[in-house]
Amino acid sequence: MTEPTTENPYLFKTIGIIGVGLLGGSIAAAARRRKIAKTVLGAGRNPSRMRAAQQSGLLDRGTTNIAETSAQSDLVIVCTPVNQIVQFIRTVAQHSRPGTIITDVGSTKQKICEDLYGSLPEGVTFVASHPLAGSEKAGFEFADPNLFQHRPCVITPDASLPIEAVAKVKQFWEALGMHVLETSPEKHDQILAETSHLPHVVSSALAMTLTAENRKFTSTGFRDTTRIAAGDPSIWLDILLSNSEAVVHSIDKYTQSLHRLRDAIKNHDENLLRQLLEDGKKNHDALNSARPQ
Amino acid sequence: MTEPTTENPYLFKTIGIIGVGLLGGSIAAAARRRKIAKTVLGAGRNPSRMRAAQQSGLLDRGTTNIAETSAQSDLVIVCTPVNQIVQFIRTVAQHSRPGTIITDVGSTKQKICEDLYGSLPEGVTFVASHPLAGSEKAGFEFADPNLFQHRPCVITPDASLPIEAVAKVKQFWEALGMHVLETSPEKHDQILAETSHLPHVVSSALAMTLTAENRKFTSTGFRDTTRIAAGDPSIWLDILLSNSEAVVHSIDKYTQSLHRLRDAIKNHDENLLRQLLEDGKKNHDALNSARPQ
């Protein structure tokens, strides 16, 4: 592993981003701002979008050529929708030089790791990642170099991976300002079902429930609680279906909490209702101290 | 009704706020900033808190004397927790001069209106209000003169009330920057069960469900979706119990939405799941156009 030096201050000479949307674009912006890579390449499907990303200064070069982008990069970050990650990583690996490291930003990890660990060409290493940062907005126009600052990133390596490559991926996310956590792919998907996929389902169900004639009677509470329901349905469809078992389990656990509240309200059980509301408040308030800022 | 003139630019000479917390304090700050009242009085339980509110410049006078505050005010706004509103309004009405208008900020309206309409002393009029603005923060220290700007306020008068008094209360909320909606107390409680009380229950249930060891794996989505769960449990206890029937009905309707999502995920029904997520997104996105800004 080459450590950055005064002569070569960059963690990577060249990074390549496959899929330059909100997340990919924000990685490009942050990598540039923080001088993590000397050259930032991007590849995507739409030639005019890629030209626009290059012209905006976000990328040193934006093309539709994944092979070329892969061949020229020391680290490739695949930022496509979750159900396309495996195929894109296989393509990237085919065209990469030996020593290239590949990572991703997929919201579920078990299927990706099962498919890819131990099955890529010799000399190319894939280390799975999930930066817990995002937005309900879409497109590199909303790229934000501070999107990753103080947020957690989960990496899910296994024992077969070269420890230098794992360390380098960890360094990359830390250089973006993230706090890196490590767990198994299976455990990741169980945890994220509760902390990320469940909130999306809960929020979408609330947005679905609102009748049109009652919209004008909403305030900030309703709007905040349904903010994440504005996320791209195609992206969330993939995430929820790629982790369906754990998500259904979380929904069932949540339904129990909901029904404890419901029954306390129905039975006018003041003591129980107070206790439940206090538990919820404590759990929310604890979030502020759970994470290094 | 006296309209404001150049010589007397104020909508009310003196307003009195009973309960100077986040909402009462924000009304005081907004009334002062927008020159709605020449004099802003406040009354509360805790003498040192009331002195502090006066010393901070929020109130012209802060006391524990509700009788005196009521006797000197042209409009009294009762900003106490919802289960104390009726008793406070009776006390205010006892000490008010004829012609005084009383309103409130209670989150449920049916019980309050049933108790008070037609039962106050001659010459004193209560017009029930519910400004849909607030915060999970508590205390006048967080008072925000812009809290009401562009937000809806529901008033629930009945046919027995003098139309001048109703018009004056409407003018008051409009002068605070609010968009006033009018409905019956019963209808208000049914609507708000869906648009305000349900989101609180949904958010609290999500916060309750999170296990402590998973806290560090949360991101902005979880935090935003549980923001309102940080609200004061005592206040929400009263609100939920004072509208329990409609709240339980809303929870049951919500549970149906949640289970449609759950079953679509469990059955890997991609088309249905996409449709449901799109419905939720459309409903959320429509909130931005539902309200005059």
- The string of pLDDT tens digits covering residues B47-94 is 999 999 999 999 999 999 999 999 999 999 999 999 999 999 999 999
In this structure, the answer to whether residues A76 and A209 fall within a common structural domain is no
Share of chain A above pLDDT 70, in %: 96
Q: What is the pLDDT of residue B14?
A: 98
d(CA A82, CA B139): 45
Q: Which of A179, A225, A236, A255 is the best residue to mutate to test the B interface, defined by the most B CB atoms within 10 Å of its own CB?
A: A225
Give the A window 218-277 contacts with B, CB below 8 Å: 218-231, 233-234, 236-237, 240-241, 244, 247-248, 250-255, 257-262, 265-266, 268, 270, 273-274, 276-277
d(CA B52, CA B61): 10
In this structure, the answer to whether residues A79 and A151 fall within a common structural domain is yes
Q: What is the pLDDT of residue A291?
A: 52
CATH number at residue B148: 3.40.50.720
User: What is the residue type of A167?
Assistant: A
Q: What is the pLDDT of residue A55?
A: 96
d(CA A119, CA A133): 29
The last residue of a domain, from among B183, B203, B232: B183
In this structure, the answer to whether residues B172 and B46 fall within a common structural domain is yes
Q: What is the pLDDT of residue B134?
A: 81
- Which residue of B206, B219, B274 is in closest CB contact with A202? B206
Instruction: Report CA-CA distances (Å) from A261 to A257, A291, B251.
Output: 6, 28, 9
Span B198-210, average pLDDT: 97
Distance from CA of B204 to the nearest CA of A (A): 5
Cβ contact (<8 Å) for A281 and B207? yes
* A293 belongs to a structural domain: no
Q: What is the pLDDT of residue B190?
A: 98
Q: What is the pLDDT of residue B7?
A: 53
Q: What is the pLDDT of residue B171?
A: 97
In this structure, the answer to whether residues A237 and A125 fall within a common structural domain is no
In this structure, the answer to whether residues B153 and B281 fall within a common structural domain is no
pLDDT band at A138 (very low <50, low <70, confident <90, very high): confident
- Check CB contact of B150 with chain A, cutoff 8 Å: no
- Which residue of A209, A250, A268 is in closest CB contact with B241? A268
In this structure, the answer to whether residues B64 and B150 fall within a common structural domain is yes
Q: Which of B256, B265, B285 is the best residue to mutate to test the A interface, defined by the most A CB atoms within 10 Å of its own CB?
A: B265
Tell me the pLDDT tens digit for each residue of B221-235.
Answer: 999 999 999 999 999
Tally A–B CB contacts below 8 A. 307
> B17 φ, ψ to 5°?
-115, 120
Q: What is the pLDDT of residue B293?
A: 39
Distance from CA of A189 to the nearest CA of B (A): 11
- Which residue of B209, B216, B262 is in closest CB contact with A291? B216
* B6 belongs to a structural domain: no
Packed helices A198-209 and B270-287: angle between N→C axes, nearest 10 degrees? 70
The last residue of a domain, from among A183, A201, A230: A183
Both tokens assigned to B227: 């923001």
Angle at A274 between CA A269 and CA A275, to 5 degrees: 105
Closest CA to A215 of B249, B236, B179, B23: B179
In this structure, the answer to whether residues A144 and A278 fall within a common structural domain is no
Count up the domains in chain A and report the number: 2
d(CA B215, CA A99): 36
Both tokens assigned to A115: 């498919």
d(CA A287, CA B20): 29
Both tokens assigned to B177: 């920057």
Q: Which of B195, B274, B288 is the best residue to mutate to test the A interface, defined by the most A CB atoms within 10 Å of its own CB?
A: B195
- B20 close to B50: Cβ distance less than 8 angstroms: yes
CATH number at residue A277: 1.10.3660.10
* B212 belongs to a structural domain: yes
Cβ contact (<8 Å) for B196 and A215? no
In this structure, the answer to whether residues A178 and A236 fall within a common structural domain is no
**Range of lowest pLDDT (B7-21, B96-110, B112-126):** B7-21
Share of chain B above pLDDT 90, in %: 91
Residue of B nearest to A194 (CA): B210
Tell me the pLDDT tens digit for each residue of A83-137.
Answer: 999 999 999 999 999 999 999 999 999 999 999 999 999 999 999 999 999 877 8
Element (H, E) at B203: helix B198-209
- Which residue of B225, B237, B268 is in closest CB contact with A225? B225
Which residues of chain B are within 8 Å of residue A278 when distances are taken between CB atoms?
233
- Check CB contact of A57 with chain B, cutoff 8 Å: no
In this structure, the answer to whether residues A53 and A177 fall within a common structural domain is yes
Tell me the pLDDT tens digit for each residue of A218-256.
Answer: 998 999 999 999 999 999 999 999 999 999 999 999 999
Q: What is the DSSP string of chain A?
A: -PPP-SSS--SEEEEEEES-SHHHHHHHHHHHHTT-EEEEEEE-S-HHHHHHHHHTTS-SEEES-HHHHHHT-SEEEE-S-GGGHHHHHHHHHHHPPTT-EEEE--S--HHHHHHHTT-SPTT-EE--EEE----S--SGGG--TTTTTT-EEEE---TTS-HHHHHHHHHHHHHTT-EEEE--HHHHHHHHIIIIIHHHHHHHHHHHH--GGGGGG--HHHHHHTGGGGS-HHHHHHHHHTTHHHHHHHHHHHHHHHHHHHHHHHTT-HHHHHHHHHHHHHHHHHHTTSS--
Which residues of chain A are within 8 Å of residue B225 when distances are taken between CB atoms?
199, 202-203, 224-225, 227-228
pLDDT band at A292 (very low <50, low <70, confident <90, very high): very low
Range of the domain at B223: 188-287
The last residue of a domain, from among B134, B154, B183: B183
In this structure, the answer to whether residues A173 and A204 fall within a common structural domain is no
* A1 belongs to a structural domain: no
Cβ contact (<8 Å) for A222 and B287? yes
A268 forms beta bridges with none
In this structure, the answer to whether residues B104 and B163 fall within a common structural domain is yes
Both tokens assigned to A226: 């349904």
In this structure, the answer to whether residues A157 and A258 fall within a common structural domain is no
Element (H, E) at B102: strand B101-104
Cβ contact (<8 Å) for B280 and A203? yes
